[in-house]
Amino acid sequence: MKTVFALVDCNNFYASCEKLFRPDLKNTPVVVLSNNDGCIVARSKEVKTLGIKMGVPMFQVQDEIRKHGIVCFSSNYALYADLSNRVMTILEEEAPQLEVYSIDEAFMDLTGVDHVTDLLVFGKQVKAKVDKWTGITVGVGIGPTKTLAKLANHAAKKYPATGSVVDLMDPDRQKRLLALVGVSDVWGVGRRTTARLNARKIYTALDLANANPKSMRGEFSVVLERTIEELNGVSCLDLETVKPAKQQIICSRSFGHKVTDKQELGEAIAKYTTRAAEKLRGEKRLCRVVSVFIRTSPFIPNEPQYSKILSAELPNPTQDTRDLLEVAKAIFDYIYRSGFRYAKGGVILSDFYEYGAFQEDLFRPSSGKRHSKSLMKVVDQINHSGLGNVFFASQGVSPQWSMKREHLSPAYTTRWRDLPKVW
């Protein structure tokens, strides 16, 4: 049976989330900014039409923002994650198998679905359901391989006449589209690879599809060989329905202002440690290695620079925030140096173990804080309920170092007091 994949991609996802509860912004240009409101990381279709590029620092386009009445938003990760979960839940109900590829993209396994209904009709039904139930518009690309499904999705977004749904199962349609698509738009072909391919007179996706897979593997990599096979309709990439276990957890942010006070910087490290520990328990893992780093900004000329990272190994793996805070504080005290203006800090947890799947240190057995697992479970339940917040005193009561988010929208779907009001 021939494999069939569909890639469902949310259109301008972050910007669409911000517009969803602001109908007054329906046709207004909107951008979403990175941490500390630094760079543009998402653009509505109106902003794209104006030619404003992705990743440009906000301060460089202030004139355009004022001229065109562009509305700016700080990144609202709680809102985006919740709306993403709603979209993915709908897709799970529609497909036999689903791979959540990113916060706004998912691959669906539609193998055999064409025996029941037309694939194009099915794609339009999926699009209509997501649009109606969440208010988020999506594009749907269908193909015999994941790479061709990606290209079909690219066409669905680029050509309005498609109605945002493209079925690329027909080989003739595949070749016509491949001839129109630049090789840089092929999934997995980066900027450097594109330059090398162009030097070999390979400019379009069709040029790449016509290349010899074996010789390209020798000159480039097995990844490019698989890409060529996929462009020719040979499925080499299976659906990854099981999310791979994380190898490390990083919690880090740039500060809202340059930090010079040791206690203030220590509170930030404690906060990041607490958040990383929460993520660790979410992965149902224990960790053995804790790393802490702090650094000044390399972008400020004529200012003293300092950057340091240090790791420490615990005698036995743990998931208890108290254990991790103790180690993180010891590391921080060792690497901290006064006289600098710190711009960023963070915590990295690594060397993970499953519960009960590790050998305790023979000479330093785990003392085991009483009811550690139960206590951490209660703390997480309270913090996730939206009804209260339990935190450790080392995090500080009113942090001044917090990330700058001057244009933050309400958490419409995850906080009771932010629920939209209809009068």
Across 236-250, average pLDDT: 81
pLDDT at 330: 95
* Mean pLDDT taken over the chain: 89
Is the confidence at residue 368, as pLDDT, over 80? no
Is the confidence at residue 356, as pLDDT, over 70? no
CA dist., res. 265 & res. 306, Å (int): 14
- Total structural domains in the chain? 3
Give the three-class secondary structure for 98.
strand
Residue 220's domain spans which residues? 5-9+80-231
Last residue of a domain, one of 200, 231, 262: 231
**Co-location of 185 and 55 in the same domain:** no
**Co-location of 160 and 196 in the same domain:** yes
Predicted confidence band of residue 179 (pLDDT cuts 50, 70, 90): very high
Across 214-234, average pLDDT: 90
413 assigned to some structural domain: no
348 assigned to some structural domain: yes
For residue 378, the domain's CATH number is: 3.30.1490.100
pLDDT at 353: 87
Q: pLDDT for 63-74, tens place per residue? A: 999 999 999 999
199 assigned to some structural domain: yes
404 assigned to some structural domain: no
236 assigned to some structural domain: no
Angle, helices 77-94/13-20, rounded to nearest 10 degrees = 100
**Co-location of 226 and 87 in the same domain:** yes
Is the confidence at residue 342, as pLDDT, over 90? yes
For residue 160, the domain's CATH number is: 3.30.70.270
Predicted confidence band of residue 130 (pLDDT cuts 50, 70, 90): very high
Across 111-121, average pLDDT: 89
Q: pLDDT for 265-306, tens place per residue? A: 999 999 999 999 999 998 889 999 999 999 998 888 888 999
Last residue of a domain, one of 55, 78, 101: 78
**Co-location of 222 and 277 in the same domain:** no
**Co-location of 183 and 203 in the same domain:** yes
**Co-location of 67 and 87 in the same domain:** no
Predicted confidence band of residue 371 (pLDDT cuts 50, 70, 90): confident
pLDDT at 218: 87
DSSP output for 332-398: HHHH--SS--EEEEEEEEEEEE-TT-SPPPSSS-----TTHHHHHHHHHHHHHHTS-----GGG-SS
**Co-location of 210 and 158 in the same domain:** yes
For residue 47, the domain's CATH number is: 3.40.1170.60
Q: Calculate the alpha carbon distances from 203 to 46, 94, 215, 231, 413 in Å.
A: 29, 37, 17, 14, 45
**Co-location of 175 and 299 in the same domain:** no
**Co-location of 107 and 177 in the same domain:** yes
**Co-location of 226 and 89 in the same domain:** yes
101 assigned to some structural domain: yes
Is the confidence at residue 318, as pLDDT, over 60? yes
309 assigned to some structural domain: yes
CA dist., res. 118 & res. 124, Å (int): 10
**Co-location of 133 and 68 in the same domain:** no
Is the confidence at residue 370, as pLDDT, over 90? no
Last residue of a domain, one of 167, 199, 231: 231
CA dist., res. 206 & res. 181, Å (int): 8
pLDDT at 379: 87
Give the lowest-confidence range in 80-89, 260-269, 375-384: 375-384
423 assigned to some structural domain: no
Is the confidence at residue 245, as pLDDT, over 90? no
Q: pLDDT for 6-47, tens place per residue? A: 999 999 999 999 999 999 999 999 999 988 888 899 999 999
**Co-location of 35 and 123 in the same domain:** no
pLDDT at 229: 93
